[in-house]
Structure 1
Amino acid sequence: MTSPRVLVVDDEADLRELLEITLLKMGLDVDSTETLQQARQLFAEKDFQLVLTDMRLPDGLGLDLVREVAASGKNIPIAVVTAFGSAENAVVALKAGAFDYVSKPVQLEQLRVLVQSALKLSDGAPAAAPARGQAQGRLRGSSAAIQALRAQIARLARSMAPIAISGESGSGKELAAREIHAQSSRADKPFIAVNCGAIPEALMEAEFFGYRKGAFTGASDERDGFFQAANGGTLMLDEVADLPLAMQVKLLRAIQERRVRKIGATAEEPVDVRIISATHKNLEKLVEDGLFRQDLFYRLNVIELRLAPLRERLDDLDELVEAILARLGSFEHKVVLAPGVLDVLKGYSFPGNVRELENILERALAFSNDGVISAEDLALKGGSLPAPVPSPAPVAAPAAPASPEPSDAVAQPASPAATPAPVASLPAEAPAGEAAASGAPAMPRLPAFDVQASSLPAYLEAVERDIITRVLAQANYNRTQAAQLLGISYRQLRYQMQKLNIQDPG
């Protein structure tokens, strides 16, 4: 069996000799040259499994060689050697198709890791199989959008370039990141996903970089951070836009230098991590507003991967629903949709994307009879929904829509004048005289909570809890009467009270 062959292109004789010796000790065959012209000739004559080139050559730029190798169709990884601190050159090379880069002075340990990762790609080694259940909901569908996404991921998996995944909440950004990792040469190494918005600012440095024993009060043992935990693998920075500016500076240095220092340590330690970031926010706008560092943005956004929202790929709905129902059911008790339910779902805009679809079906299953989900079991938000399939069962109030559950729809604060759909049969708040004259109970208005847009779920729960509590009080906590006033069943009211932790007095 022949040894893998590497092409080294560098005009510095000492560095070229160091690279040759290191690669030969790794059991590789090496061809080296100092000019771009000779490199092109050797590349055309021989089969290489890796090309390693300097950025500046006597007769041209290594960047030209990067583009030519990437466009050759041979799927040969090419890495570049950049001057110390030339982060911009590294980013340009990665965007041009380079697999990875090393900085001068070359750290031999980092070089060996790079070479081993590149040779795994050249060998075409299959990625490790995902754990059971992991791949069930990953990148489901056959629409043009999802097929293009799969093709992009297959190409990106061969690179070490940082990837910035953009997409709406619930569109599957972490699933895409896991798929990139699973198809890469790092598939047998850790994949660490970090929600940057969920870490208190005071703990961020310790969580990302680790700490030494005794570094601060409570540090009774030494602990690795996210970078050390992901060493050799992939680190996903989810909701990266939520990083405070002070942490952005430290993160930028760790990504550029590929070295981190634990809190309380005096020396840095090398880490080999591929960075994938994700956010539903517009990072470019945050950079313009001074809320996100421009240099970190360019470092993370080498390659951008956009995920289409579910409403742009409704052709995948059948397959997605089938996979979700299979997960919700069991071998003995399968979950199915009644006729017409899929058509109702296809008329919905899904502002929460696939995550909302999962939530809708899981909640509908709780209200279904014998695992058969009907249109009346769905609770959909928004006005883009066509009329649900009518139910043969009588309803409490003619004006009420088919959706019986108030959980999300009750709390729909679409506009100050809008009336929530599930309580449409109840009259709006009216003077006491009018209410008495009509014989109908007065429905309280929606509370005007002072809430940020980012906490919409909390707002919706607060609105729903307030409405149910007021109606219960109005009915003297007679649940049957309260359910009738709300236009829902007794069972649905009991479910909502349990979910929202609403207790009867005493």
Structure 2
Amino acid sequence: MAKKSKVLPRVLVVDDEPDLADLLELTLLKMGLAVETANGVIAAKALIDKQHFDLCLTDMRMPDGEGLDLVRYIQSKGLDLPIAVITAYGNTENAVAALKAGAFDYLAKPVALEQLRALVKSALKIEATPAVKAARRDRPLLGDSPALQHALVLIEKLARNQAPVYVTGESGSGKERAARTIHSCSSRADQPFIAVNCGAIPENLMESEFFGYRKGAFTGAQEDREGFFQAAHGGTLFLDEVADLPLLMQVKLLRAIQERKVRKVGGVQEEDVDVRIISATHQNLSRCVEAGRFRQDLYYRLNVIELKMPALREMGNDVLLIAQFLVEDIAARHGMPVLAFTAAAKDALCRYDFPGNVRELENLLERAMALADGQQIDIDDLQLQHASGDKAEAVAANLGDTYPLQDYLDRVEKVAIIAALDKTGFNRTQAAKLLGVTFRSLRYRLERLGITQDE
């Protein structure tokens, strides 16, 4: 029986400059793609009418029209054909116009081949390696709630570009998992993902950990060593708890991000580094800027696009879906049978606030499976001691003493306000009476803490 040949993705290259068209065609052929070329807009439209393409790369200005004409033509026909335009260097107006017209992305001349390859991989979603597939299946972001679906839609969009991402959310809400998902679905998926907890590195070691060092740079430096930036070259560097960076290190990090170069401790020459930066913190970073604990210029570099991960209590019945996944995962890791939940246990999980979010849920399920007697997890096995108690005490029990005082008080205050609003059906007048504050005072607190009816 003859082996069925694999159908290659087809790319249409539209350019009236033979040298550039040849370069693009050669690069795409080396990537294992089928390529057709057209020397202008009219010829391109004729090919699009006759053949199927998976991607179109077009120059912006040609003798018989513009790349924007082709973008609009494809949009008018309702074709599922991503198109990227090639613009003159520094011509951002054309690039923005192309994106608004419906282009997938753009490239600036002279075309950088690495950037071209990354764009093509992202547009075609070229099949990932088995290792990448496994990473995508590992601990997925589960749930059907509007809060999570909103985050997932944004994650999908973020995976298609290279802009820095700032992930916000409470401790245990899945910020690192979101960063890994962005990476594994991006064109950098087959390159390293390096996660760094900025709060866990001693201040005197930060520079050498981030940028590496040369042999003899200090006592104990017996050989050259790479830092986090070099290790993440070509991939993604995830800076968790970025608010914990000392100010001096913030200056050095800002320069590395701006210049895309780093210098090892004890070194003379700078090295080029290509990393995508994703940062996260449970703290309010803008408040850290106001307090002088975080540089405003670095804040704007990191916070190009913000992704908010919802707290578990905002995800409704998703808690049961996540709990079932975690039970199966725990059972597989420990060689235990998969236990079901009783109706009472399910109800208790749905009513509990989970101040520690998914991390807390996993911890209590580990304990519940160890304590369960039989084939089911009952409400007593969960040991939700705060489920019917004071919500502020529940938060306090899970915060420990690691938070700055103001952030701690804001968290407790926010939980109390949300509880009052839930009890009154978001009637702010009644909630204010319940809390013992004036309506104006409650309105001020709602604005300051960013509480909306979607909470």
Q: Structure 2 length normalisation: TM-score?
A: 0.69
CA contact (8 A) 1:164 1:305 kept: yes
Q: Matched residue of 2:355: which SS?
A: coil
Name the residue aligned to 1:190.
Answer: 192
Q: 1:341 to 1:260 in 2, by over 3 A?
A: same
Q: 1:21 to 1:301 in 2, by over 3 A?
A: farther
Name the residue aligned to 1:53.
Answer: 87
Match of 1:243 among 242, 245, 254: 245
- Percent identical: 46
- Look up the equivalent residue of 1:198 and give its one-letter code: A
Name the residue aligned to 2:376.
Answer: 372
Distance 2:128 2:242 in 1: 27
Q: What is the 5 A alignment of 1:26-175?
A: 26=27, 31=59, 33=61, 38=66, 40-41=68-69, 50-54=84-88, 57=91, 62-63=92-93, 65-74=94-103, 76-79=104-107, 111-128=112-129, 130=132, 132=134, 135-175=137-177
Q: Give the count of matched residue pairs.
A: 357
Match of 1:177 among 142, 164, 179: 179
Q: Matched residue of 1:299: which SS?
A: helix
Q: Matched residue of 2:238: which SS?
A: strand
- Look up the equivalent residue of 2:99 and give its one-letter code: A
Q: 1:138 to 1:248 in 2, by over 3 A?
A: same
Q: Deviations over 1:78-136 (max 9, x none)?
A: 1458xxxxxxxxxxxxxxxxxxxxxxxx8x8xx33212211212333134454648635
Distance 1:242 1:53 in 2: 40
Q: Deviations over 1:332-361 (max 9, x none)?
A: 622222331110111111000111111111
Distance 2:28 2:350 in 1: 58
Q: What is the 5 A alignment of 1:434-449?
A: none
User: Is 1:340 equivalent to 2:369 in the alignment?
Assistant: no
Q: 1:77 to 1:6 in 2, by over 3 A?
A: farther
Name the residue aligned to 1:281.
Answer: 283
Distance 1:172 1:240 in 2: 16
CA contact (8 A) 1:194 1:238 kept: yes
- Look up the equivalent residue of 1:67 and give its one-letter code: V
- Look up the equivalent residue of 2:361 and give its one-letter code: L
Name the residue aligned to 2:304.
Answer: 302
Question: How far is 1:232 from its partner?
Answer: 0.9
Q: 1:294 to 1:180 in 2, by over 3 A?
A: same
Question: How far is 1:328 from its partner?
Answer: 1.8
Name the residue aligned to 2:437.
Answer: none
Distance 1:205 1:376 in 2: 49
Distance 1:245 1:317 in 2: 39
Q: What is the 5 A alignment of 1:248-259?
A: 248-259=250-261
Distance 1:191 1:279 in 2: 18
- Look up the equivalent residue of 1:71 and give its one-letter code: K
- Look up the equivalent residue of 2:13 and give its one-letter code: R
Distance 1:17 1:209 in 2: 42
CA contact (8 A) 1:5 1:50 kept: no
Q: 1:309 to 1:124 in 2, by over 3 A?
A: same
Identify unmatched segments of 5+ residues in structure 1: 9-15, 82-105, 387-407, 415-448, 456-506
Question: How far is 1:67 from its partner?
Answer: 3.1
Distance 1:243 1:332 in 2: 41
Q: Deviations over 1:26-55 (max 9, x none)?
A: 4697746499x9553465579985434357
Q: Deviations over 1:265-309 (max 9, x none)?
A: 211111111111111111111111111111111111111100110
Distance 2:99 2:388 in 1: 45
Question: How far is 1:453 from its partner?
Answer: 3.8
Q: 1:248 to 1:17 in 2, by over 3 A?
A: farther
Match of 2:366 among 362, 365, 386: 362
Identify unmatched segments of 5+ residues in structure 2: 1-7, 30-36, 38-57, 75-80, 406-455
Q: Matched residue of 2:343: which SS?
A: coil
Q: 1:45 to 1:300 in 2, by over 3 A?
A: same
CA contact (8 A) 1:170 1:355 kept: yes
Structure scoring higher RCO (CA < 8 A, sep ≥ 6) equals: 2
CA contact (8 A) 1:344 1:385 kept: no
CA contact (8 A) 1:127 1:184 kept: no
CA contact (8 A) 1:349 1:385 kept: no
- Look up the equivalent residue of 2:113 and give its one-letter code: R
Question: How far is 1:6 from its partner?
Answer: 6.9
- Look up the equivalent residue of 1:205 and give its one-letter code: E
Larger mean CA deviation between 20-29 and 218-227 belongs to 20-29
Question: How far is 1:72 from its partner?
Answer: 3.4
Distance 2:291 2:14 in 1: 46
CA contact (8 A) 1:212 1:219 kept: yes
Distance 1:41 1:337 in 2: 58
Q: 1:329 to 1:56 in 2, by over 3 A?
A: closer
CA contact (8 A) 1:347 1:385 kept: no
Larger mean CA deviation between 177-186 and 128-137 belongs to 128-137
Distance 1:339 1:25 in 2: 62
Point out the structure with max Rg over C-alpha: 1
- Look up the equivalent residue of 1:171 and give its one-letter code: S
User: Is 1:312 equivalent to 2:346 in the alignment?
Assistant: no
Larger helix proportion, structure 1 or 2?
2
Distance 1:384 1:275 in 2: 41
Distance 1:55 1:297 in 2: 28
Question: How far is 1:383 from its partner?
Answer: 5.5
Q: Matched residue of 1:222: which SS?
A: coil
CA contact (8 A) 2:59 2:87 kept: no
Question: How far is 1:230 from its partner?
Answer: 0.9
Larger mean CA deviation between 377-386 and 167-176 belongs to 377-386
Q: Matched residue of 1:329: which SS?
A: helix
Distance 2:142 2:82 in 1: 36
Distance 1:374 1:40 in 2: 62
Q: 1:133 to 1:268 in 2, by over 3 A?
A: closer
Q: Deviations over 1:195-243 (max 9, x none)?
A: 1111111111111111112222111111111111111111111111111
Distance 2:59 2:224 in 1: 45
Name the residue aligned to 2:222.
Answer: 220
Name the residue aligned to 1:382.
Answer: 386
Q: Matched residue of 2:277: which SS?
A: strand
CA contact (8 A) 2:289 2:295 kept: yes
CA contact (8 A) 1:127 1:185 kept: no
Distance 2:403 2:124 in 1: 49
